[in-house]
Structure 1
Amino acid sequence: MHDFSSSGALAPSQRRMRRTTAEIRALILESARVLFAERGFSGATTRHIAARAEVAEPLIFNNFGSKSTLFVEAVIEPFNARFSEFLAHSGELPPDREQRSAHFVHALYPFLRDNADLLLALVKSNGEMEAATLHGLDDYFSRAVARMRDQYELAALQFDVPPELIVRYAFGMLAGAVLFRDWFFPDDAPEEDVAEGALARMLFKASEPRKP
């Protein structure tokens, strides 16, 4: 009579569940996002990313092809997704410039505040990226410029500051307000609604059309 109690078979709880491709990609993306924010592009090696995600390093390349592509998907694409959502709804807004400035800030500033790690990843990777990756936000900038030009043309307005600069510096203003908040206001920081209102007003004034 055989005693199966001591067989080498693992109990279900001891066997590692096989993970789907989607689960593996999600683990890698989450790990990459954290480490790019902590160490920048160069400092976050694929070995470190794989170890944190608890996956084999070759799976990074199997799923993303390259470290640069992984950076784009982990860091750049969340920006583009949010910006695309903003642009999709901005066409439904009334033509009033002040309302549009407020909508831009209210739509994007909380997103940047809640995803400050993405901004840190950009800052810490400055000077380390390939040229193609540096153009990761170009689609949003181009579409935003085109949208501004259409709005000003419909209202028969002339730009005082080129829209190519407005859309980029507007993003920079919101990003700076997030990244340097503790330095700007080590004590008695304004309430978020006050901060958003001030940023919206500054953007509105900065984008004023040329006086006739």
Structure 2
Amino acid sequence: MSIPAPTPPPERARAARRAPGEVRELVLDASRELFSSHGYSNTSTKRIAEQAGVAEALLFRHFGSKAQLFREAVVEPLVEVLQGYADQWLAYDSPHEAELPVRSFIDTFFGTLSDRRGFAMALTAASIYSDDVVEDSGAPLADVLRLIESVVAQEAERFGYRGLNIPVTARVGVGSVLATAMFRGWIFGTNAGEVADDRITNELERLMIYGVRNRSEIE
């Protein structure tokens, strides 16, 4: 008489039935939380796997490296926001006020960063201390920044702005919103909670619009 094989615990049975897409989402969710709260250098793949409830070997099977996992969990969601903005405005042919694309960019990007401030902090820390992250994530960031340049160039031609260094102008605009959202608490100190988002975004809009519009007069 043969002895039946032992029944695996419920947790193991559930894990065995997980679809590849479910595993990826579990790992990405755990990665976003840990990278945001502990940074890139202080987050190990072992810890991510434990929090996701999967084997570390399975994590590497889906993502290949810690740097690739960081790119997909942290960098790509921010890139997608910028990509969506650029695609919208590069295809926008209707007459509009000069302020409209600037306001759209600031509201969209600032709102995203305010909701995912940990992402931006993790990105900054990783770029300072981890060359592998910079190398892995540099290409998608560079690609989307070139699209933002194209939006700036299109609007500059439409409204007759002169004297702009398009690549620098685009990056300073992105950097201004990024830094304000990331370091809001430091910039406004104890009053940070009393300063409404629209007051901040309105001021960013004025700085960008009037700085660009009056460039020829200043130079």
1:183 aligned to 2:182? no
* Match of residue 21 from structure 1: 20
C-alpha separation between the residues in 1 aligned to 2:145 and 2:184? Answer: 25
Which structure 1 segments of 5+ residues have no match? 1-6
**1:75-94 correspondence runs (5 A):** 75-90=74-89, 91-92=91-92, 94=95
Deviation at 1:31, TM superposition (A): 1.0
C-alpha distance 38-14 of structure 1, shift in aligned 2 (>3 A) = closer
What amino acid is the match of 1:107? Answer: T
1:153 aligned to 2:157? yes
Deviation at 1:54, TM superposition (A): 1.1
C-alpha separation between the residues in 2 aligned to 1:119 and 1:60? Answer: 23
C-alpha separation between the residues in 1 aligned to 2:113 and 2:35? Answer: 16
1:207 aligned to 2:219? no
Q: Is the 8 A contact 1:29 1:73 kept in 2?
A: yes
What amino acid is the match of 1:200? Answer: E
C-alpha separation between the residues in 1 aligned to 2:106 and 2:11? Answer: 50
* Match of residue 163 from structure 1: 166
Deviation at 1:126, TM superposition (A): 2.5
What amino acid is the match of 1:201? Answer: R
TM-score, L = length of structure 1:
0.85
SS in 2 for 1:84: helix
Deviation at 1:10, TM superposition (A): 6.8
C-alpha distance 14-35 of structure 1, shift in aligned 2 (>3 A) = closer
C-alpha distance 163-14 of structure 1, shift in aligned 2 (>3 A) = closer
Number of equivalent positions: 204
> Structure 1 vs Structure 2: percent identity of aligned residues?
25
Deviation at 1:95, TM superposition (A): 4.5
Q: Which has the larger share of helix? A: 2
Q: Deviations over 1:182-205 (max 9, x none)?
A: 222212632122221111111212
C-alpha distance 9-62 of structure 1, shift in aligned 2 (>3 A) = closer
* Match of residue 4 from structure 1: none
**1:52-71 correspondence runs (5 A):** 52-71=51-70
* Match of residue 197 from structure 2: 192
Q: Is the 8 A contact 2:28 2:69 kept in 1?
A: yes
* Match of residue 31 from structure 1: 30
C-alpha separation between the residues in 2 aligned to 1:10 and 1:77? Answer: 37
**1:41-56 correspondence runs (5 A):** 41-56=40-55
Deviates more, 1:99-108 or 1:72-81: 99-108
1:98 aligned to 2:96? no
Q: Is the 8 A contact 1:46 1:67 kept in 2?
A: yes
TM-score, L = length of structure 2:
0.83
C-alpha separation between the residues in 2 aligned to 1:65 and 1:207? Answer: 43
SS in 1 for 2:34: helix
Deviates more, 1:78-87 or 1:126-135: 126-135
Which structure 2 segments of 5+ residues have no match? none
